[in-house]
Copies of this chain bind each other. A is one copy, B any other.
Amino acid sequence: MTALSERSVPTVSSEELAAAAGVNSAKLRKDFSYLGSYGTRGVGYDVEYLVYQISRELGLTQDWPVVIVGIGNLGHALANYGGFASRGFRVAALLDADPAVVGSSAAGLPVRHMDELEEIVETQAVSIGVITTPPGAAQQVCDRLVEAGVTSILNFAPTVLTVPDGVDVRKVDLSIELQILAFHEQRKAGEEPDRGESVLDRAPGPVRAAAAKLRRAAGASAKRTDAKAEPEPAKGGPGQGPEGDLSAVMPA
């Protein structure tokens, strides 16, 4: 949509957009309909208007002050992250508990002491906090953020946080993405014939059960039987985004 807007394309049909996005046009129309009735029959969607409406719905037109707590490499990286400003995020403050770090600067902002948290959250109306501390400090920092009035937390520490009702937490685990790649990589490589498993073990119910039964009957030395190559499931294949649950990466 942004690309179309930059090329000054005035309108776009659900069919064109769907093709560009790789989704079904009916689904796209239905999704858009949740935002309101912003298209024109026989014409399509006004690009500028739709960009604005989607931006507004997603909260991109608002100013979102955020605090980043824990200014190590990752805190630094996030403070410098280019994508934030354009989406309405503004770094209200960088905070750290380590006196050796406090007073230094990152991305043009001074690193301030944790003790200033409460005042910053209040005066700048901060509702979103980012935790980039070591795992041991994360829950404590989280409690303090919540106490100060923050109601949304983005957690990069490898710790599952406990928060009261009404507070949202999102956890980013950088190694999960690598794990998903490794999982697919492993499948690309193909399984060794005599690792005690068969490709049939991954087939749906009845086939799998039959294969397992056969193998049990034949004893542990049973060889991999000749099976048709399983086609890659549509979901697990393309797309560069995160996948929510196992069913998206597991074979059909």
Q: Assess A89 versus B172: contact at CB under 8 Å? Given A59-B183, A158-B82, A197-B36.
A: no
Cβ of A133 < 8 Å from any Cβ of B?
no
Contact size class for A? 35 or more
CB distance from A142 to the nearest CB of B (A): 11
Tell me whether A170 and B240 are in contact (CB under 8 A): yes
Give Cα A93–Cα B212 distance, bound, in whole angstroms.
Answer: 42
Give Cα A151–Cα B184 distance, bound, in whole angstroms.
Answer: 10
Q: Assess A128 versus B76: contact at CB under 8 Å? Given A62-B186, A246-B31.
A: no
Give Cα A81–Cα B134 distance, bound, in whole angstroms.
Answer: 10
Each complex incorporates copies of this chain amounting to 2
Q: Assess A34 versus B202: contact at CB under 8 Å? Given A152-B185, A185-B127.
A: yes
Instruction: In the complex, identify which listed stretch (A4-12, A94-102, A174-182) lies at the interface while the others stay far away.
Output: A174-182
Give Cα A208–Cα B138 distance, bound, in whole angstroms.
Answer: 42
Cβ of A224 < 8 Å from any Cβ of B?
no
Within 8 Å CB of A155, what residues of B? 240
